[in-house]
Every structure is written in C-alpha cells, then in structure tokens.
Amino acid sequence: MQQQPMLPGPQCQAYKDRRDKVVARGVANGAPVFARTAQGCTVEDLDGHRFIDFAGGIGTLNVGHAHPAVVQAVKDQADRFLHTCFNIVMYPQYIDLAEKLVEIVPGSWPKKVMLQSTGAEAVENAVKIARKATGRPGIVAFTNGFHGRTMMALSLTAKAPAYKTGFGPFASEVFRAPFPVLYRSGAPDEAACSAAAFAEFRRVVESEATPQHIAAVVIEPVQGEGGFHVAPASFLRSLREYCTQHGIVLIADEIQSGFCRTGRWFATEHSGVEADLYTLAKSMGGGMPIAAVVGRADLMDAPAVGGLGGTYGGNPLACAAALATIEVMQREDYARRSRLIGEAVRSRFNAWARSFPFVGDVRGVGAMVAMEIVQDRDTHLPDGQIGAAIVNEAYQQGLLLVKAGFHGNVIRFLGPIAAEADEIERGLDILGDAMTAVHSRSAVAA
C-alpha cells in the first residue's frame, strides 16, 4: 500500500471540524478517520483512502468488518423484529445464545447465562452476583487492570489520569493487588515474579480485609488496556486454589482476551483454570453490542427474580450476530488461525526488538501480541511520545493501530483473526516502515 500524503482528506477533515463542535471533549478519538465502508481487514474513509485495520474496534472484530454471515444474520432478524426487551417478551435467540455460551465457556459444573449490551455492564452484574451469592462486600482487582467506565467497573479500573480523575468518589470495598509483570518486576524469571505477586496478593487480602470479607477476585488473564501483560499460569492456579479454599468467587474478565484472540477460545484455558464467572463482550458479537456473564449455576441463581435485568440486554439483532459469529469461529477454527497470525506478528515484533533501540519488550499469547516502547532498554523507562509517533506515522501510510499501557507506550495488535496472511504481512510492512521513519527522525534530532 502506497503512502497517503495529506491525511486527513477534505471530507474527513470537514467532519472532524463538525465533530469538534458537537461531540463532548471527553470522548477520545485516534486517527481522524471517518469510515465510508469497511470489509474484512480494510477500512475505506470518506475521501477514498484505504487502511489496513490492526485496531479491530479495540478487539471487537475478530471475524473482521462486516462478515457476510454476521451481516446476513442481522438482516434476517431485522426482518422479523428489532426489539421486545427480553424481560417483557422473550425470544428464541436469547436462549440459543445462552445454550451456546454454556457449551463453549470453561467450567466443569452446571452453568447459566445473563446477557447484557456492554463489557462494563457484564462486570457490574458479575460483582452483584458475587456479592449476593457470598454475602460479602469486598472485591479484589489488580494493578494495570481495565474493567470499564461505569461506576463499579471504573472503581476496579486502575488508570486514574485518563479515566478516573474527577469522577469520584468511587465504589467502596475495592482492594488492589499487584498484577505479575515480569518486565518491570526485577524478578529473575516468571516463576519468581508469580510467587512474589501472589504473596503480595495474600498480604493485601489477609491484612487489609481478611478472606471472609472478600466476595470476588476480578482478573484479566491477559490485560488489555493495561498493556497485554499475560498472567502466568502458576499465578492463576494459585488464585484458583486460594479462592476455592476461602469461598471467594473468581471472575475472569475475558472481554478482550476471549473468543479465540489468544489462540484458545478463552485465555484461562492456557492455564487449565476454570473461573467461577466469566465476563464476555467485544468479539462475541462480530461488531454488534452484546455482552454476557457466564458461570456456575448456583452463583448465577443467587439474585432473586428481578434482581438482574436491563432494557437492551441480549437484543435480538445482537444475539443473531453473536450466534453467527460463534458459528464462523467454530467452522473455520479461529483458535488455530489466531495461533498462526500470532506467530507471524511475534516474529516481526521480535525482529524489531533486535533492530530498534526503543523496543523494550515483546509479549502476549496467540494473536494478542504487543511491544513496549521505551526510552532506555536498561531502565525500561516508558516512551509514550515515540509510541504516539509510530502510530501516527503508520496512519499516514495506511495502517490503523491502537496503543495501550498506563503511559500509552504499548503498541498492540488487535487485527481481525479473519485477515489473510498477505494482509497481515502488508500491515506489518507498513508498521516496520513507520518505525524506521520515526527512528530516523529521532536519530537526526539527537
């Protein structure tokens, strides 16, 4: 793909000017792209510029933009009816999807399902369920975690400057434990990092709360917004054992890591851990807004009738999209596709780590891979400016990216698993060219 000078084009710029007048300042945007059409791994803007999409709607498009099977399922359902509210008039699609989720979500026990519209809504309901089931108030979350922007979810989220400043007070009885991050831990290996983090987790619980006070532990098996940190299998197993011992509900937030992104259907499968409750969303709907809490039937049934609900939860159009999305993933073995794409991406990222002094770390699992941009490899000091420059240069050359991490210095890959090998390679070529350009400019400036 040739470099596209003078971006954004006139039509996108005109809409950007209109956007600035009527959209609230707090709504963030990345590149000034206004889509006209999108298909598979490609977005075309209002000015006819085409982009390879490695952002994937922040992980919502594992099956790609406008997958024909998903689009057809939505059209077919739209011809029947758009909405009734499941709490008022039920419909088969909600039951069909609940049965499918019970089938594919880990758990060697009877499971039940509640559908929602967003990931944050799923997190809120998972906490409600855990508190009702245990009769306890406390929730443990982790550093770098992101669980959404509604009040309870935001209380669990650990990114104050961007998301939390000025919005308090937040929900009480939230305790924060360290997520095991080998790159910054100073530990000699993953096992030592995991052991140290679990020891600190126990200290937090037992000195600041007591286990009998804790209703749930909420963890992303692979952190999304936090920077694609992967929880070691030993850490997740220790959490599972501890929660079982003390009657604490283990909640796996698989909103970004689920639905084949990590090379398995769900990231906890890599460790063999079965969480009590799973929160799901993003790529579950193939681009339509839908989310779920799936978990142990005895826990899910703890709230009384009427204790769970919502007007749009499990909307018929979104249910139809999710059923079609899951069918595509099963038929085309998206878990395997994810592993193959991840190998290609990681290979390039590792090569750049050897070539560019500002690539400090490459990490992830399956097609959930990222590289951390730093000022200095010895000190690991983050460099958000270079990260932003790479993302902007890539946009100018026709590639859409999304950053992550507390300092915005982690470049993550969230391109569709539906992408063909040549599309992945073209996108990686652009990213490599963008990094070279930024490195050259940095060298000249120095």
What does the pLDDT look like over 80-89, one tens digit per residue? 999 999 999 9
CA atoms of 281 and 290, how far apart (whole Å): 6
Quick: pLDDT tens for 287-306. 999 999 999 999 999 999 99
- Mean pLDDT value of segment 93-113: 98
| 328 alpha-carbon distance from chain centroid | 20
Looking at the DSSP bridge assignments, the partners of residue 359 are 373
Mean pLDDT across the chain, nearest whole number? 96
Given a cut of 90, whether residue 39 has pLDDT beyond it is yes
**What residues does 113 pair with on adjacent strands?**
294
* Residues in Cβ contact with 372 at an 8 Å cutoff, skipping those fewer than 6 apart: 183, 227, 359, 360, 361, 362, 363, 382, 405, 409, 410
Dihedral over alpha carbons 388, 389, 395, 401 (to 10 degrees) = -30
Domains of the chain (ranges; CATH) run 10-66+333-445 (3.90.1150.10), 69-331 (3.40.640.10)
Other C-beta atoms closer than 10 Å to the C-beta of 211 total: 16
Average pLDDT over residues 100-113: 98
3-state secondary structure of 76: helix
Sign of dihedral through CA atoms 27, 32, 38, 41? negative
Give the pLDDT of residue 443. Answer: 73
Six-digit token string for 420? 């063909």
Average pLDDT, stretch 339-344? 98
Instruction: Grade residue 234 by pLDDT with cuts at 50, 70 and 90.
Output: very high
Q: How far is CA 355 from CA 89, 317, 432, 444, in A?
A: 59, 47, 10, 17
pLDDT in tens, 203-233: 999 999 999 999 999 999 999 999 999 999 9
What is residue 446's predicted lDDT score, i.e. its pLDDT?
62
Q: What is the pLDDT of residues 319-331, one digit of tens each?
A: 999 999 999 999 9
pLDDT at 66 over 90: yes
Predicted confidence at residue 5, as pLDDT, reads 55
Cβ contacts of residue 204 below 8 Å, gap of 6+?
Answer: 140, 175, 176, 177
- Residue scoring higher pLDDT (184 or 5): 184
Q: Is the pLDDT of residue 162 over 90?
A: no
pLDDT at 201: 98
Q: What is the DSSP letter of 212?
A: G
DSSP structure class, residue 161: I
Q: Are 283 and 97 in contact (CB under 8 A)?
A: no
Terminus-to-terminus CA distance in the chain, angstroms?
30
CA 73 to centroid of chain Cα atoms: 24
Q: Phi then psi for 352, rounded to 5 degrees?
A: -70, -30
The answer to pTM > 0.85 is yes
Report pLDDT for 2. 46
